[in-house]
Amino acid sequence: MSIDSIRTHIKGRVIEPGDANYDDARAVFVGGFDRHPSMIVRPADASDVAAAIALAQENGLELAVRSGGHSTMGFGVSEGGLVIDLRDMRDIAIDGKERTAWAGGGITAGAYTASAHAQGFATGFGDTASVGVSGLALGGGDGYLSRKFGLSIDELLAAELVTADGAILQIDGSSSPDLFWAIRGGGGNFGVVTRFKFRLHEVDAVFGGMLMLPATPQVIESFVAEAAGAADELSTIANVMPAPPLPFVSAEHRGKLVILTQMVYAGVPAEGERAVAPLRALGPLVDKLRPMPYPQIYAPEDPNFHPMGANRVMFLDAVDREAAETIVDHLERSEARFRVCQIRVLGGAIARVRSDATAYAHRSRRVMVNVTAVFGDPKEAPRYRAWAEEFRIALQKGQPGAYVNFLADDGPARIREAYPSDTWDRLRAVKRRYDPTNLFRLNQNVPPAAAAS
């Protein structure tokens, strides 16, 4: 197919340099990626995706696949290549009887959650409404329902996927066990997922919201220990960071380190009140925990916010006093205008899935930590990268492990850390079968296994 003929071949849209909406269409969430693709295809269905893949193959164009556009590495846009942007494929069909939903590959976590909530259901995604379900769920998907129900990949029942050769496959655990295993944690390495089928749970009102605590090492250690020992219904995400200048933060705390935690108790709200009592006993500076409709856990977002950041992710098995002191020390020493150490307490349903059941294999790790410095000038990047890397090494203490969706410019050795050896070898074999030329390489890349001699 020629570049000129694609417009007549597909039902969706094609955007090229010079088109009025080109600059908006090529923008991604993370700042600092000013890439100019030669073409953006916004498919209407899987056959449009197949046509765009053929175009990229035949013309040797680098291929970017974009859903919510939140890749930390700006992988959703290519310099000079072709972008398949799924944002127009965001339909959702809910089957309340079967408790499943089919959702288009371009839907965001927030849009899915709002539609499912309207019928009294939810599927767990991450902490931010504008993140794409696709990128999130292909890497794992940790959020406010994870300890209760598992990661987003644990809710995935089937998918429609277009492979590098243009084949449109309907896959699930019975029909394509290897491929279905690989897309649950292996990221966008295996094809373009155009539709997902997820399990739904009856989740309506929950108990949750925000609790702001003082960020002393003692409180950080106690918070993690209490959250890890809480009922599985309670999932927490704690951000140790300078207190923002928001109306509910008193002047004396603004800019000082606090633990800003968000949490959801996915069960009877009155029981949630009891479950959070040990956290409330840590002496909150602000307490906004309350019964609420589940979608309210998603904070409103500023569409013009495009932060540039340096970040590093790792797994820990606990946050003891020494680790908590390391966290406070590194955050206090940084001069970044914004810096955060995000602590996600895992366990619960995440840990009840066998480590070889999906390509996300770090099932037994108890805590995920993500450290980030946000800066305003790209020239500052090396300095803050060095800070994040040093912070990681100090906390991780040689215990390997990474979550692929929060990897940044870490490099190949850390992509390997996201996957234990058996998982890595199996992913490479699946990659060889479905993408032998590594067409899908603008990602945290799993290269195809070498051909047997």
Q: Which residues of the shown chain bind ligand FAD in the complex (CB under 6 A)?
A: 29, 65-72, 75-76, 86, 105, 126-128, 131-132, 134-136, 138-143, 187-188, 192-193, 405-406, 442-443
Min dist CB 358 to ligand FAD, Å, is 13
Under a CB-based contact definition with an 8 Å cutoff, are residues 399 and 417 in contact?
Answer: no
Beta carbon nearer to ligand FAD, 119 or 445: 445
Beta carbon nearer to ligand FAD, 190 or 285: 190
Beta carbon nearer to ligand FAD, 138 or 234: 138
Beta carbon nearer to ligand FAD, 171 or 285: 171
Residue whose C-beta lies closest to ligand FAD = 135
Min dist CB 440 to ligand FAD, Å, is 7
Beta carbon nearer to ligand FAD, 141 or 208: 141
Q: Measured between alpha carbons, how far is 354 from 371 in angstroms, rounded to an integer?
A: 28
H-type alpha helices, 62-101: none
Q: Measured between alpha carbons, how far is 303 from 451 in angstroms, rounded to an integer?
A: 46
**Type of residue numbered 394:** A
**Type of residue numbered 58:** E
Beta carbon nearer to ligand FAD, 127 or 226: 127
Q: Measured between alpha carbons, how far is 268 from 7 in angstroms, rounded to an integer?
A: 52
Q: Which contacts of 445-451 are long-range, i.e. CB under 8 A and separated by 24 or more positions?
A: 445/189, 445/412, 445/415, 446/186, 446/187, 446/189, 446/415, 446/419, 449/425
Min dist CB 123 to ligand FAD, Å, is 13
Min dist CB 137 to ligand FAD, Å, is 8
Min dist CB 35 to ligand FAD, Å, is 12
Burial 302-322 (b: 16+ CB within 10 A, else e): eeeeeebbbbbbbbbeebeee
**Type of residue numbered 39:** M
Residue by residue, DSSP assigns 360-420 as ---TT--EEEEEEEEES-GGGHHHHHHHHHHHHHHHHTT-----GGG--S--HHHHHHTS-
Q: How many CB atoms lie within 10 A of CB 337?
A: 12
Beta carbon nearer to ligand FAD, 76 or 150: 76
Beta carbon nearer to ligand FAD, 139 or 209: 139
Min dist CB 144 to ligand FAD, Å, is 8
Beta carbon nearer to ligand FAD, 152 or 396: 152
Min dist CB 4 to ligand FAD, Å, is 26
Handedness of CA 145, 151, 155, 156 (dihedral sign): positive
Under a CB-based contact definition with an 8 Å cutoff, are residues 134 and 126 in contact?
Answer: no
The token duo for 245 is 């200048």
Min dist CB 277 to ligand FAD, Å, is 25
Min dist CB 270 to ligand FAD, Å, is 27
Min dist CB 366 to ligand FAD, Å, is 16
Beta carbon nearer to ligand FAD, 222 or 312: 312
R_g of the chain, CA atoms, integer Å: 21
Under a CB-based contact definition with an 8 Å cutoff, are residues 164 and 173 in contact?
Answer: no
